[in-house]
Amino acid sequence: MRQHPHLYIDGRWTEPVEPHEVELVDPTREEPFARVALGGAADADRAVAAARDAFKTFSTTSPAERIAVIDRVIDVYESYADEFSELIAREVGIPVGNRAQVTGPAQHMRVARDIVREYPFESRIGNAIVRREPIGVCALISPWNWPIQTGVIKLVYALVAGCTMVAKPSLNSAASGVLLAKVLHEAEVPPGVFNLVNGRGREVGDTLSHHPGVDLISFTGSTAAGKQVGAAAAGTVKRVCLELGGKSATVVLPDADLERAARWNVQRCFFNAGQSCHAPSRMLVHESQVEQVVPFLVDEARRFRLGDPLDSSTTMGPVVSAAQFKSIKEHIQSGLDEGARLVTGGLERPDGLDRGYFVQPTVFTGVTPDMRIGREEIFGPVLAVLPYRDEDDALRIANDSPYGLGGFVFGGDRENARRVANGLRAGRISYNGAATDSYTPMGGYKESGIGRSMGRFGLEEYLEVKSVYGFEDEAQALPTLFG
C-alpha cells in the first residue's frame, strides 16, 4: 500500500501536528490502495503563516521571474505525466486513455505563462496610474473529478499573479495532490509560496474559509458546499471565487443534424463517467423528433467500453466512490418511479463487472422539468431527454434551473442558433459541438458560481486594483486602459 505520511508546508515535508491519516479506496477494486496524512486546523494555521511570510518577497518578483518558475514547473510536471495517469486511474477511476486529464494541466500552465508576458500590470486612465497587484494569500480547494487540472488552473494563475497559497485537494484525490506538491518542490518553487494541507472540509476547509490571514478563497465543488464556503468567508470579507454545480442543457433545434447532435451529446455527457460539472445532462429535443434521436442515443451509449481504468482500451471507468454510486442509483430509481422511459442502461451493474462502482451509461426519455433527473445534478452517466414545443419553450425549460454553468446548441441556421445561444443563461455556450478555448473565461451564472477562471479573466481574480494620483509624467508612459 502506498504511504503519504506528510503535508507540504514552507518548502518542507512535515508531519501533521496531530497525526491522522485516511485510506484511499480504489473504486475499481473496492479496496484500499493508499494512506494519506490528514492535517487539521493547526496545520492550516501553519500553512497560512508560511504563505503570508513568503508573500512579502514573492509579491515583489517580476513577471519574468514568475514565468521562469512556471517553466520549471512545466518541465518537472511533464516528466511525471505517466505517474499522474496511473495514479488517478487508481484513485478516482479515470481511464489511462483519457490523456486530457494529464496533458490539459500543462497546456493551462503555458496559457497562464503566455498571458502574463503581455499583461499590463500598470496602465493609465487620464493622468492616473492604475496598478494591478497580487491579492495576497489564496486558499485553493479543488475537487476530485478533474483532480490535477482544476488544482493546476488555480495555482498557476495565483503564481503568475504573484500570490502565495494553501492548497486543499479533495480527500478522494489526496494522493495526486501530494504528487503535485512533489512537482512544485522539485521545480524549486520558493518555500512558502505553495503549501499543501490534505484534510477534511469541515476542519481544514472551514479553517481556511474563516481565516483572517487568507485574502482569497477559490473553491470548486458542489453548490451546497460552495454556499458554506461563501458564508464562512463573509466574516472576513475575503474575495470568493466559486465554480459550483451544473445541469447543463443542449438545445437541439429542428433543423439540426439529429444524429450528430445525439452522438455528440452522449459522448460529452458521459465523458469522465458523467462526473463533470459542465456535462450536458439535459437534452432538449423538439417533441416531433424525440423518437428519431433515440436510436442514435442508444447506439452511442452502448459504444462505451467499461472496465479497469488501467486498461488502455477502457473508455469509462467506475464512479469515484460508494457514496457516489449510491446517489446515482437513487437518481436512476427516481426516474423509473416518476414515469420517465428508460431506453438504455439502468440499475444493474454492467455485464461482467461484479465488483467496482460501475454504472451503465443510462438514457431516459419522456422526462419532464419537475422530475428529479430533470432538475438535480446527478454527476454520473445519466442523460435526461426532455421534449419542447417551440424555441421559446426550449429556452424556458433550459433556463428553469438554479444552475447556469454551461449550455449547448445544435442547429443549421446560424443566425437563429446564435439567438438561442444568447438566450441561454449560462457562462459557457457551445454551438454544434465547438471546442472551448483555454484563453477564454470559465464560470457560471446563478447557483453555478461567482467569478471566472482561466485566461485574462482568471488572472484578474487574483489581483487587486489600485489607483495612484499625482504621477502625471509617469502615467503618460503607460498604455491607456480606456480610450
CA–CA separation, 211 and 225 (whole Å)? 17
Q: In terms of DSSP bridges, do strands 128-134 and 463-468 run parallel, antiparallel, or are they unpaired?
A: antiparallel
How is residue 403 written as a grid cell?
444552475
21 among known catalytic residues: no
Instruction: Give dist(CA 128, CA 386) in Å, integer.
Output: 54
CB 10 within 8 A of CB 172: no
Q: How far apart are CA 380 and CA 377, in angstroms?
A: 9
CB burial string 93-126: b at 16+ within 10 A, e below: bbbbbbeebbebbbebbebbbebbeeeebbbbee
Q: Say if CB 250 and CB 265 are below 8 A apart.
A: yes
First-to-last alpha carbon distance for the chain, in angstroms, is 61
Q: Which residues contact 323 (CB under 8 A, 6 or more apart)?
A: none
- Which is the catalytic residue, given 91, 203, 243, 376? 243
Length of the chain: 483
194 in Cβ contact with 167 (< 8 Å): yes
Q: Which three cell numbers stand for residue 333?
A: 430509481
* Other Cβ atoms within 10 Å of 225 Cβ, number: 18
Cβ atoms of 221 and 244 within 8 Å: the answer is yes
The cell 454504472 sits on which residue? Answer: 359
Strand runs (DSSP E) across 2-142, as ranges? 2-4, 7-9, 12-14, 20-26, 31-38, 122-125, 128-134, 137-141
Of 123, 173, 233, nearest to 4 by C-alpha is 173
Find where cell 508612459 sits: 477
Residue 269: partners with Cβ closer than 8 Å, 6 or more residues away: 279, 280, 281, 283, 381, 383
By the 10 Å C-beta count (0-12 exposed, 13-18 middle, 19+ buried), 397 is classed as: buried
Could you list the active site residues?
243
